[in-house]
Amino acid sequence: MESNGRSLVEKSLIARGISRRDFFKYCALVAGTLALPTSYGLRVAEALEKKSERLPVIWLELQDCAGCSESFTRAAKPSAADVVLDLISLNYHETLMATAGTQAEKLREDTIKVGGYLVIVEGAIPSSEGDIYCTIGGKTAEQILHDTVKNAVAVVSVGSCSSFGGLPKTYPNPTGAKRVMDLVKDKPILNLPGCPVNAVNITATLVHFLTFGKLPAIDDKLHRPLFAYGSLIHNNCPRRGHFNRGKFVREWGDEGHKKGWCLYKMGCKGPVTFSNCPLVKWNDSVSWPIGSGHGCIGCTEPDFWDHPLYLPVKIQEVSPPAFYPAVGVETEKPIDATSVAVTGAIAGAILGAVGAAAVTKNRHSKDGNGQSSGES
Ligand code: SF4
């Protein structure tokens, strides 16, 4: 509680003109985004309401375009999601902070001294020619990164540049751009790739951290949280029915495009891209690239800029199969040669019987029609 008896959440709700009901609805929604059971909505709300201190955050912008910062601050109108932002103390963010120069750098250093903060990194880290391609306040990006993470509780890379190198790392990678994971080895790291990152996934990650005191579960190799990157876009795409029926857009503006058919042949990378875009969408869930008629460019996958956007990705089956295998029962018993022979003999006998029955039936049928009874 703060000095006036109101919690941080209460103060935020009043200041933003948001009802408690909307706040609870948001908590249930974010629990769903985090793939938690619906009952966790209440638990999330209670945990956030108990917060009496803001979580200190240092946001670094290195080799970036500030697109992820823009995505993060996208709110068009006050929403319950913004309450989460009132639970963090954004102590350092080059683009958003009011101070500049030595004063700004002092704020970063003071936060590092106290410790217990979260570091958010936007942008890749150059390494060519003595790291000269990105320096701030006389320090290289790599020095700043190492200095900043030393007392942090965890590091979150937002966007594809800090997660995987992004656009700066595109061939031939003239600045020697690296990802955070290449340089930071002794802290928990979570990657939220995307070009830009989806703000929904940043706030959901923050809510998880504020509620449970740790980062959400990630995959081992790419460190992406499973709640946001656990499923292929292709598996949740509303155009998937058209893909399965072989109905593809073949030219921008053609009949199939107007009818909302599958964009695979126009280069859609949905079949190889892991992201929750179809579920959370963009711009307050108004739409998303495939929803507005453009194929997915695969921006949550490593090195996506190196793959021509117009070329279809290689997948095993583009056209739907003519026949689907019958549903069968798996057996744990190993198949041996004897059982194969016996099965073959039984199958042969059954086929023979079926064949004989068919001939007999055919013959009977012909007989029944009063035709000459030649065998078929
Ligand atoms: S190829 Fe793209 S547009 Fe087609 S179903 Fe898959 S994700 Fe959707």
pLDDT exceeds cutoff 50 at 344: no
Other beta carbons within 10 Å of 65: 17
Q: Residue 240: left if φ>0, alpha if ψ -120 to 50, beta else—which one?
A: alpha
Could you tell me the distance, in angstroms and rounded to a whole number, from the CA of residue 237 to the centre of ligand 1?
Answer: 6
Identity of the amino acid at 361:
K
Checking if the pLDDT of 364 tops 90, the result is no
Radius of gyration over every alpha carbon of the chain, rounded to an integer in angstroms = 29
CATH 4.10.480.10 residue window(s) in the chain: 233-306
- Residue 285: per-residue pLDDT: 87
pLDDT at residue 351 greater than cutoff 60: no
Ligand 1, atom 4, residue with closest C-alpha: 262
* pLDDT of 336 over the 90 cut: no
Q: In this prediction, what percent of the chain has a pLDDT beyond 90?
A: 66
Distance CA 335, CA 341 (A): 11
Mean residue pLDDT across the chain: 85
For the stretch 258-289, pLDDT in tens is: 999 999 999 999 999 999 999 999 988 899 99
Residues 15-73 pLDDT 10s? 888 898 999 988 998 999 999 987 899 999 999 999 989 999 999 999 999 999 998 88
Show the tokens assigned to 276. 């929750």
68-82, 103-117, 320-334, 353-367: segment of lowest average pLDDT:
353-367
Looking at the chain, the domain(s) classified CATH 3.40.50.700 span 54-229
Q: Residue holding tokens 């989460």?
A: 84
Give the fold, CATH level 3, of 233-306.
Cytochrome-c3 Hydrogenase; Chain A, domain 2 (4.10.480)
Q: How far is the CA of 81 from the centre of ligand 1 (A)?
A: 30
Distance from the alpha carbon of residue 200 to the mean position of ligand 1, in angstroms: 22
pLDDT computed for residue 72 by the predictor: 86
Q: What is the pLDDT of residues 176-231, one digit of tens each?
A: 999 999 999 999 999 999 999 999 999 999 999 999 999 999 999 999 999 999 99
Q: Which CATH class is domain 54-229?
A: alpha beta
Longest dimension (CA), the chain: 107
Distance 197 CA to ligand 1 centre (A): 21
Ligand 1 interacting residues, C-beta cut-off 6 A: 233-234, 237, 239-240, 243, 262-264, 268, 270-271, 290, 295-296
For ligand 1, mutation pick of 247, 248, 257, 268 (most atoms within 8 Å of CB): 268
* Residue in 140, 148, 160, 63 with CA at minimum distance from that of residue 110: 148
Q: Please, which pLDDT band fits residue 149 given cuts at 50, 70 and 90?
A: very high
